Structure 1
C-alpha cells in the first residue's frame, strides 16, 4: 500500500512539473460572409473592441483554473480554440472548464454579438450593433457609440443595472435584490443582457 501511494505521489509530482503555467492562442478569421460572432466561455473574461475592418482578431490567454485536485493543475498545452461556421454565424469556444481564459477580440463593427460567460465578465467598447449577452456570475460593461437603439433590456437576478446617455429609461428592482432596466428608442439595433449574480452597465460615449 505504501509503494502504491509513493507511485501515485511521484506521478502527480511529474504531472505538475510538466504542466505549463499559461498558453497564448491567436487566430484570425475573415468576416466578409458573416453577420454574427458567437463566443462561449466557461470561466474568464472577454474584452471586445469593434473597429472598421474585415477580420476577427482573437488572442486568448489560457491559464489553469485553481483546483484542489492532488493531481495538480491542468496542462494548458492541451487547450485548443474550436471554430465553427454555420450560415452567417461564426462560433468560437475552448471546450474545457479546467481553464481560466482572458479573451482579447477585435470585431468588425458590422457584426452582431452573442456572448455567454459562466463565471467572469464581458467588456465591450464602441458597440454599434446588436448584442445578446449572458453571464452567470460576474458583470457586463458596454460602451457604445450608437446614437440610439431600437430596444435595450438589462436584467440582473442579484445586482444592479444601469443605462446612461439615453432618455426614456425605466429601471425597477426585483425582490429588493435584483434589477431590470429597459429602453425603447428609434435605433436599428437591440441589446439583451442578463446576469444571474452581478451588475450590468450600458453607457453611450
Structure 2
C-alpha cells in the first residue's frame, strides 16, 4: 500500500469518526430551591431556551448539550453546569469558561423577584412567567406570552428586525426606524418586561 492510499484511508477514517461524534449529545440537569426574593440569572451562549412555570419552589433545569457547528468544536464531555450564588442572586450557565457548545435549555421557573436572561445566539421562548424580566438576545428571536393583568410596562427593542406587542387592552404603540424598531405597552399590573435583540425579531403576546 503506497503513501497516497494510506493517507486517503486515514482521512476517510477521520471523517467517519467525526460523523459518528457529530450526533453525540450530553444531558445536564439540576434542581435548585429558591425564594420569591431571588434574582435568577441565566446565561446561554449558543442555543435555545424554553422557560415555563415551575409547580414547586425549585428551578428545574435540563440542558441538552451537543457539539457546535464550528469545525473545531469543544468536547461535550467537558461540559458542566456552573452555578454561582451571591446574596439573592443566582447565576446559571454552562461551563467551563471559554468553551462553546450547542445548548438547548428547558427551564421550569417558580415565583422569583426577577428573571435576567442573556442569550448570545439563539431563541428565547417564555410563557406564563409572572415576574419582572430582562431578556437580551444578541442574534436570534424572542417570544414571550403571558397575562396582561400581571404587567404594568413593557419595552421591546430590535437593532435589526421587527418588534411587536399584542394585547387586548392597555396603551400600545411602536416606533420604526430604518432597519429596526421599538414597541411599548402600558397596563395596570405590577411587573415589567425589557426585551432587547440585536439582530432578529422580538414579539410579546398578552392574553
- TM-score surpassing 0.5? yes
Task: Specify the alignment match of 2:176 in structure 1.
Answer: 173
Asked if residue 201 in structure 1 is aligned to residue 203 in structure 2, the reply is yes
**C-alpha distance in 2, partners of 1:17/1:194?**
37
Indicate the residue corresponding to 2:89 in structure 1.
Answer: 89
C-alpha distance in structure 2 between counterparts of 1:17 and 1:52, whole Å: 40
Distance 1:92 1:156, change over 3 A: same
Paired residues of 2:35 and 2:111 also in contact (CA < 8 A): no
Across the aligned residues of Structure 1 and Structure 2, the Cα RMSD in angstroms comes to 2.6
Q: Distance in 1 between matches of 2:52 and 2:163?
A: 22
Alignment size in residue pairs: 197
Corresponding residue of 1:29 = 32
**Unmatched segments (≥5 aa) in structure 2:** none
TM-score (norm 1): 0.85
Which moved further from structure 2: 166-175 or 30-39? Answer: 30-39
Structure 1 alignment gaps of length 5 or more: none
Shift of 1:32: 2.8
What SS does the corresponding residue of 1:115 show, helix, strand or coil? strand
User: 2-side partners of 1:50 and 1:124: how far apart?
Assistant: 9
CA–CA distance in structure 2, aligned partners of residues 145 and 14 of structure 1: 50
Aligned-partner SS, 2:77: helix
Quick one: structure 1 residues 33 and 199, their matched pair in 2 at CA, closer, same or farther if it must change by over 3 Å? Answer: closer
